[in-house]
Amino acid sequence: MSEQVSVAPKKPVFLIALFVVLTLLTSAAVGGIAYGLYTGWLTPYWENLSDAHAAVLAQVVFLFGAAWAAVLVPLLFGEQLQNVQDAAKRAEDTCVRIETRMQAAAMESERELKKIVRLQMMSAGHLLDDQLVLLETPEDKNDFVDTRWDKAYIKLRLALSLRDGNAQRSIGNHTRRSPEWWERIKFYDVLGKHHDDFRTLSDKARKAARSLDIGDLRAANAASRAIEVFEPTLPREEELPQPVAAPETAPIFISPSNGAASQQLPQ
C-alpha cells in the first residue's frame, strides 16, 4: 500500500502578524485612553476638541476598524478562501488604502487650514507675519499679493476721481503704474503719506509674475496694513486772500471865506 502524504495547509503568517500588531496597538490605545480618563489628564483635551480634530479622529477610528476587518475576515473564514496568498494580498491592499486615506485626510486638513487663512485675508485684508509661511505655493503667494493690490487700486482710482480734470489728464498721459505715472501721482499729492505704501504694493504685484520670496510677502503685507486706514479725500483748496475794503471818504469842510457859507462835499 502506498502511503498517502498529508499536506498541512499553509498558515497565513502575514495575517497572524498583522493580528498580533493590531492587538497590541488596540490594547495600548484602549489602555492609554482608560488611563487618561481615570487620571483626568485626557479630559481637557477631549472637552476642547475642535471640529477639525474630531474629523481626523473619526477617520482614524474608521480606518482602525477597517484594518481589523481586513485581518479578521481572512482568519475566521480562511477555509472558504481559495488562496491564502490572495487574502494576504487583499489585506496588503487594504493597508495601502488605509495609508492613502490617511494622506487624503491630512491633505484635507491642510486645505481647510488654507481656507481659513483665505477667509481671514478677505475679512482682515492682511495676515500676521507668522501666517505668511502658510503661503507655500507660487499660486498662493501671487493670489495674496494680487488680492491686496486689487483692493488698494480701488481706493487709488477713487482718489484720482476726486482730482480736477487737469490733474487727471496730466496723470493719464503716462503709462499706468510706470515710474513717470507714480511721479505725477506724487506731484498732485493724490495719496498723501501713503504714496510709498501704494507704490510698494504695486511693485510687489508686478513681481508676482516672476517670483516672490518671504521678504516680498512681508513688504506687501505691511503696505496693505498701512493702506487699510487710507480714505480718499478732496484736495484742500488754497485760502483766497480776503478783499480789502475801500476806505470811506471823510467829509471835507471848506472854511468860510469872505463871508461865504461853509459847504460839505458829498461822501
pLDDT(117) > 70? no
pLDDT(151) > 80? yes
Task: Find the range with the poorest average confidence among 47-61, 198-212, 237-251.
Answer: 237-251
Q: Which residue has the cell 485760502?
A: 239
pLDDT(204) > 90? no
What does residue 264 show for φ and ψ, rounded to 5 degrees? -110, 120
Average pLDDT rounded to a whole number, residues 136-156: 85
Task: Find the range with the poorest average confidence among 70-84, 212-226, 247-261.
Answer: 247-261
This prediction has a pTM of 0.45
Q: Which residue has the cell 498558515?
A: 11
d(CA 262, CA 264): 7
Cβ atoms within 10 A of the Cβ of 142, count?
Answer: 18
d(CA 112, CA 118): 10
pLDDT(196) > 90? yes
Beta bridge partners of 264: 253
Higher pLDDT, 57 or 256: 57
Higher pLDDT, 3 or 223: 223
The torsion defined by the Cα of 54, 60, 61 and 67, in degrees rounded to 10, comes to 170
Contacts of 213 (CB under 8 A, 6+ apart): none
Helix (H) or strand (E) holding 216: helix 214-227
Higher pLDDT, 95 or 4: 95
CB 222 within 8 A of CB 192: no
Per-residue pLDDT at 183: 93
The chain-wide mean pLDDT, for the chain, equals 76
Query: What is the share, in percent, of the chain residues with pLDDT greater than 90?
Result: 11
d(CA 169, CA 160): 10
Q: Please give the grid coordinates belonging to residue 168.
A: 487727471
- Residue 55, Cα to own-chain centre: how many angstroms? 23
Contacts of 252 (CB under 8 A, 6+ apart): 264, 265
Alpha helices in 40-178 (DSSP H): 43-47, 51-76, 84-124, 138-161, 165-172
Question: How many Cα atoms within 13 Å fall on the side-chain side of residue 10?
Answer: 12
pLDDT(171) > 60? yes
Per-residue pLDDT at 3: 42
What does residue 161 show for φ and ψ, rounded to 5 degrees? -65, -20
